[in-house]
Every structure is written in C-alpha cells, then in structure tokens.
Amino acid sequence: QKEVEQNSGPLSVPEGAIASLNCTYSDRVSQSFFWYRQYSGKSPELIMSIYSNGDKEDGRFTAQLNKASQYVSLLIRDSQPSDSATYLCAVRSGGYQKVTFGTGTKLQVIP
C-alpha cells in the first residue's frame, strides 16, 4: 500500500463547477497535511495546509481532513481554466517530520 494515494486522473470539470480532489494516507499518526499545485514543468507551490479535523477555507479553496478515515480532500469552487494543473497531496509524520507526497491528480478545467 502506498503511503499517500491519489487518483491520477485526469479529472475534468467545466468552468465554474466545483472540483473535488481526494487523498488517502496510511500512517495513522500523521500530523500535517498539505495540498500543492504544480503546473507542467514547474515546481510545486503550496496552496493549503491543514492540521486538525474539519474544514479549512481559503478563498475558492477548502481543505477537508478526517483523521479517523485517514482522508484529506481539496475542493475548488468556481473552477477556472487557470486551475488546470496537477495537485499533489503531502503528509508529514514521524519523529523527523518526513513529508511524503502522493503522485498527484491532474485537473482539467474545460472552458
């Protein structure tokens, strides 16, 4: 079992719709959770971090964490073509705070 799993996609949504990206992780003692956006050929950039159960909203983005189910998700409201990218889920855990990345979900927002 991979430590951090994401559906590779592509996930296609029409412009203006809600995009829902999902991630599961295997280490029950994981402490911190991150969503990065990566445009093709570019470096990952942090868009959301979440540390406790529940929802965290930042503009059009909402991160949701359920530690009991070992599940973290990212919702993008009013999706725009500029949101088209690969979204990486990352989980931090362990004594030396190892960060493990999922393989990413490719999102395509169709105009």
Partner 1 sequence: DADVTQTPRNRITKTGKRIMLECSQTKGHDRMYWYRQDPGLGLRLIYYSFDVKDINKGEISDGYSVSRQAQAKFSLSLESAIPNQTALYFCATRQGDETQYFGPGTRLLVL
Q: From CA 5, how far away is CA 101, in angstroms rounded?
A: 9
For residue 71, state whether it binds partner 1 (rule: CB under 8 A).
no
Tell which positions 9-48 bind partner 1, by CB under 8 A. Answer: 32, 34, 41-46
Question: Facing residues of 3 across strands?
Answer: none
User: With CB under 8 A, what is the number of residues at the site for partner 1?
Assistant: 20
Distance in Å, CB of 92 to partner 1, minimum:
9
For residue 74, state whether it binds partner 1 (rule: CB under 8 A).
no
For residue 70, state whether it binds partner 1 (rule: CB under 8 A).
no
**Contact yes or no for 3/35 (Cβ under 8 A):** no
For residue 72, state whether it binds partner 1 (rule: CB under 8 A).
no
Alpha-carbon distance values, 57 to 2, 54, 75, 94, 110 (Å): 28, 10, 9, 26, 24
**Contact yes or no for 110/13 (Cβ under 8 A):** yes
Amino acid in position 94: G
For residue 61, state whether it binds partner 1 (rule: CB under 8 A).
no
User: Which residues of this protein are in contact with partner 1, per CB under 8 A?
Assistant: 8, 32, 34, 41-46, 49, 88, 90, 96-99, 101-104
